[in-house]
Amino acid sequence: MNKLLAALMTTLIAGAAFAQTPAPVAPAVPATPAVVRAEAKAEKSVAAAVKSEAKVDAKADTKVEKAEASAAEKKSKALTKSATTKAKADAKVVKADAEDKTSAMAKAEKTDAKADLKADKAVIKADTKVDTVRIKAAADKATASAETTGVKAEAKADVKAAGSK
C-alpha cells in the first residue's frame, strides 16, 4: 500500500512540475508594415467571424426555445381536449338508463381510446417537430463554427505569408 501511495505521489509531483515548464516559443514573424497590416486585417476578420457565429448560435437557440414553447402548448391543448372528450363520454354513461348502461360504457371506452390515440399522435408530432428544429439548430451552429475556424486558419496563413514577403 505504501509503495502504491508513493508511486501516486511521485506521479502527481512529476506531473505538476511538467505542467509548469513553459512551452517552446515559436519564432516571431518580424514586425514589418506588411505583417502589421496582415495582423490587423486578420484580427478584424476573425472578430467578424466570431460575432457572426455568436449571432447564428443565438438565433438557433431562439428557434429551439420557440419550438419547445409551441410544442408544450400543442401538447397541453391535445391533452385537455382528450380529457374533455373522456369526461363527456363518462357523463353519458352516468345519464344512461340501466338497460343502456352496458352499451354506453362500451361506447365510452371506445371514445376514450380514440381520444387517447389522438392526443398521443399530437404529442408525438409536437415532439418530432422540436427534435427537427434542434437538429437544424445544431447543424447551423456547427456550420458557423466551421466557418469561424476556416476564417481563423485563413487569417493565420495570411499573416504568415505577409511575414515571408
Question: Are 26 and 159 spatial neighbours (Cβ–Cβ below 8 Å)?
Answer: no
pLDDT tens digits for 78-118? 999 999 999 999 999 998 888 888 999 999 999 999 999 99
Q: Rounded to whole angstroms, how far apart are CA atoms 151 and 137?
A: 21
Taking the CB of residue 42, how many other CB atoms lie within 10 A of it?
Answer: 20
Look up residue 121 and give its amino acid. Answer: K
pLDDT digits (tens, 9 = 90+) for 24-79: 555 554 568 888 888 988 899 999 999 999 999 999 999 999 999 999 999 999 99
